[in-house]
Amino acid sequence: MSTPAAAPARPPAALPVPASLQTAAQAAVAQKEPLVVMVTLAGCAFCEVVRNHYLGPMLQRGEIHAVQIDMLDRRTPLLDLQGRSTTGYDQARAWRVRVAPTVLFLDERGRELAERLEGIGVADFYGPYLDERLRTARTQLGARR
């Protein structure tokens, strides 16, 4: 009697690291969607949960436009929402992000369209909180058009 082969592990759901937040936001808004930005931290277990169980799968299904920046990355060049050169570290500071993960919902000018999600809180409620913020951001984005 043979044992069944183990199911292959599901690959982690990656979020792109943008070269330009401005370009990413313009692409999102052109599709009538907010830009979802996850501010992350290397090695952060809570960030992995948000990335692999929420934002990554939603991105793969085409439900959201999402990117990530590392709040301690001082090396990788990044263009901000006004097209100025910065880094993930400086951008996170400009947004006053102090907790990883923090998820922002932005329009093409960088205005927050919904209350940011900081940390993971109670994991059982993260999905509904995320859905509510996305609804609010989409409504706000539509109202500004």
* pLDDT tens profile 78-110: 999 999 999 999 999 999 999 999 999 999 999
Secondary structure class of 105 (helix, strand, coil)? strand
In sequence order, which residues have a C-beta less than 8 Å from that of residue 31 and are 6 or more positions away?
A: 65
The whole-number pLDDT of residue 12 equals 56
Q: What is the average pLDDT across 123-133?
A: 90
- pLDDT band at residue 142 under the 50/70/90 scheme: confident
The whole-number pLDDT of residue 13 equals 64
- pLDDT band at residue 59 under the 50/70/90 scheme: very high
Q: What is the pTM of this model?
A: 0.89
Q: Count of residues for the chain?
A: 145
Match 């263009």 to its residue by tokens: 79
Q: What is the average pLDDT across 74-78?
A: 96
Domain boundaries, the chain: 21-143
Residues 105 and 116 sit within 8 Å (Cβ to Cβ): yes
The whole-number pLDDT of residue 67 equals 98
Taking alpha carbons only, the member of 66, 104, 71 closest to residue 88 is 71
The whole-number pLDDT of residue 5 equals 52
Q: What's the alpha-carbon Rg for the chain, to the nearest Å?
A: 16
Q: Which CATH class is domain 21-143?
A: alpha beta
- Containing 135, the helix (H) or strand (E) segment is helix 123-143
The whole-number pLDDT of residue 145 equals 55
The whole-number pLDDT of residue 9 equals 47
* pLDDT tens profile 6-57: 444 445 568 999 999 999 999 999 999 999 999 999 999 999 999 999 999 9
Alpha-carbon distance of 121 to 145, in angstroms, equals 33
CA 36 to chain centre: 4
The whole-number pLDDT of residue 42 equals 92
Alpha-carbon distance of 25 to 141, in angstroms, equals 12
The whole-number pLDDT of residue 143 equals 78
